[in-house]
A = this chain, B = another copy of it.
Amino acid sequence: MLSEMRVTGSRCRCLLLAVSLPVSISLCRAQSPQETDSAMENIVTEKKAEESHRQDSADLLIFIMLLTLTILTIWLFKHRRFRFLHETGLAMIYGLIVGVILRYGVHVPRDVSNVTMSCHVNASPATLLVNVSNRFYEYTLKGEIRGDDVQDNEMLRKVTFDPEVFFNILLPPIIFHAGYSLKRRHFFRNMGSILAYAFMGTVVSCFFIGLLMYGCVVLMKYLQQLDGEFFFTDCLFFGAIVSATDPVTVLAIFNELQVDVDLYALLFGESVLNDAVHASYVLPIVLYMPKGDNSHTFEVMAMLKSFGVFLGVFSGSFALGVVTGVVTALISFFTKLRDFQLLETALFFLMSWSTFLLAEACGFTGVVAVLFCGITQAHYTFNNLSPESQDRTKQLFELLNFLAENFIFSYMGLTLFTFHSHVFNPMFIVGAFIAVFLGRAANIYPLSFLLNLGRRNKIRSNFQHMMMFAGLRGAMTFALAIRDTATYARQMMFSTTLLIVFFTVWVCGGGTTQMLSCQRIRVGVDSDQDNSVSIMDGTERRSTKQESAWLFRIWYNFDHNYLKPILTHSGPPLTATLPPCCGPLARFLTSPQAFENEGPLKDDDSDLILTDGEINLSYGDITVSTDATGAHSAFPSAGGAGAATSDDLDKELAYGDHELVMRGTRLVLPMDDSEPSITELQPHIRM
């Protein structure tokens, strides 16, 4: 990260001297020859650096203008209720247009200043010191350039970002935002299914696509359609990168149309966890790769090692993310930073960023750490923030997410024309599309069938079709694909991946509304109303309880009774949840505000905390008394403690996602429009 920042300067060091060039040269004449030489040389170098800096600014300006254009057009679309194209799809179209212009309209020949040196060095170190007449210049490695690329269009090279930018700069805010804005209530209600789709589904999809593609590749080799090597592990790698779903377009429309919350939770949860799985998942495949020849044989040891690495990296990143989140929660718990919102927001931002850096510095996956940090921050730290900071942090990451996402998608469009070594192989592309389609089917339908065996609230077939349809590919897939485009196989994969992303975002994304009405999925569901129904209705409540896995409920109780009181200002006081013998410790650890929580439900906290009512409901069979803010009244519990806790769980989850914004844009519908209400689109079908 530092290196990026360090590099600009050399290019733009002497912006100052740019305008002065003609003057300086004429002034130099009076001086001694060697001084003039040195000055001239400096000036020429500086002029080049200055031009380079200007060029860089202009290039970045292209992207800023692209984003501005996207924003204005998408406003127009939203204003006119035109729902076929999401902002990300639009960003891609604009990117495509600019890509065409850069490719065919502008031609800047390669700068002659690129001196090619044929030195006898055996390695390509990260840093190079070049001795030019006893002055040392430091160079940093930018990357390898293929032979034909050396004569390439300078302009196209200029607008090419380093692939790692996506992984290290643009992806983290997107992933953090996803974690921070997880709709927790329905997420937790469907946690088992979501985990199944995200972990097992991804593995199934990955291997399924990998195997299909391997068949395709073998066929291509037989038909001599292949110009380079394509190993089995490459197929597996391809399966891994195109298995990551990113239904940002679909979710935006779901949110706008208020589609069934469980379907929303399933899709969103799957895509969020997917990202984490993929970020650490690709590693073991790469690990497995050096051994990879084009044979079909599995190496058991290599497989096990790969799996071990995956587990290690994933759990390490997970732990790091959670720990940073908890540390932030503790800091905001023990200090009264609430009084200074700016400090609070800054601390929150810095701690979240440091998670990423810490994970990268430790050799874990920053993206995964950032995701779980986001979830932890939303679960604990969020409760300790002042209402103003809650808004600030949400809005900040919403903005960062929006900018990063649209930047990536517009870059995707651009890169279709500006990327220097595309390999479009029709047969591979057709094979890939079929494999992606079948892979998604092999993920969704069998898993849903298995899950339905255990679920009371079944995932109905129209939901399954919708999930099948909503398997869009997006930012993560692109970031994984562009990360390494060194070999022929990788280039073909990258080109094909681009087309898959385009197709899914435009066609599947654009057809979401049609698909919803075709599958007769109810829209216009108010998530609160839905909740109140389930609370009113006894049998439905029971079924909700059944859905929550026992493991999750144990964790929930522990979290609610001990972690939340220790880490946040919300939750029941520890004096109520710890055994009486731990009284002094409990009183020491409980924040004074936790006792204050025992008033009526406060609006600003209603997001995530429980009020006294529920606390007493949960622990009604324990006689509670505290000295701090007066006596607790101990109602006899309505049911047993266990049942009450489940109610509690249900209620807390109901409040949980009250205010958190969704991933992607919040689509505010202008109210001054006389268009028929969107709920009339389809007859409501009560689940």
A contact set with B: CB distance below 8 Å: 1-20, 23-24, 27-28, 30, 39, 41, 44-45, 48-50, 52-61, 64-65, 67-68, 71-72, 74-76, 78-79, 111, 113-119, 121-147, 149-150, 158-165, 168-169, 282-283, 286-287, 290-291, 302, 305, 309, 312-313, 331, 335-337, 339-343, 345-347, 349-351, 353-354, 357-358, 360-363, 366, 392, 395-396, 398-399, 402-403, 483-484, 665-666, 668, 670
Contact = CB atoms under 8 A, between A and B. Distances in A.
B342 A666 contact: yes
Give the top 4 A-B pairs by smallest Cβ distance, nearest first.
Answer: A9-B164, A9-B162, A139-B139, A20-B287
A309 B345 CA distance: 42
B1 A56 contact: yes
Contact of A164 (B13, B68, B135, B146): B13
A362 B65 CA distance: 16
Query: Number of copies of this chain in the oligomer?
Result: 2
A282 to B, nearest CB: 7
A78 B116 contact: no
A290 B28 contact: yes
Contacts of A398: 342
Contacts of A72: 331, 335, 347
A506 to B, nearest CB: 21
Contact of A122 (B67, B132, B136, B349): B132
Nearest to A125: B113
A2 B154 CA distance: 14
A174 to B, nearest CB: 14
A115 B126 contact: no
A133 B122 contact: yes
Given A3-B11, A4-B4, A5-B161, A402 B143 contact: no
Contacts of A8: 1, 3-4, 162, 164-165, 168-169
Residues of A contacting B: mostly: helix
A76 to B, nearest CB: 8
Contact of A290 (B27, B282, B291): B27
A130 to B, nearest CB: 6
Q: Select the residue from A64, A67, A116, A666 with max chain B CB neighbours within 10 A.
A: A64
Q: Select the residue from A30, A127, A396 with max chain B CB neighbours within 10 A.
A: A127
Given A64-B354, A357-B60, A290 B24 contact: yes
B114 A131 contact: no
Contact of A64 (B20, B74, B309, B350): B350
A68 B10 CA distance: 30
A420 to B, nearest CB: 13
A48 B140 CA distance: 12
A56 B3 contact: yes
Contact of A361 (B61, B67, B168): B61
Given A7-B142, A71-B347, A131-B116, A363 B19 contact: yes
Contacts of A14: 484
A419 to B, nearest CB: 14
A161 B4 CA distance: 9
A115 B128 contact: yes
12 contacts: A5-B161, A11-B164, A48-B125, A57-B361, A79-B335, A113-B127, A115-B123, A116-B129, A124-B130, A124-B132, A136-B146, A343-B665
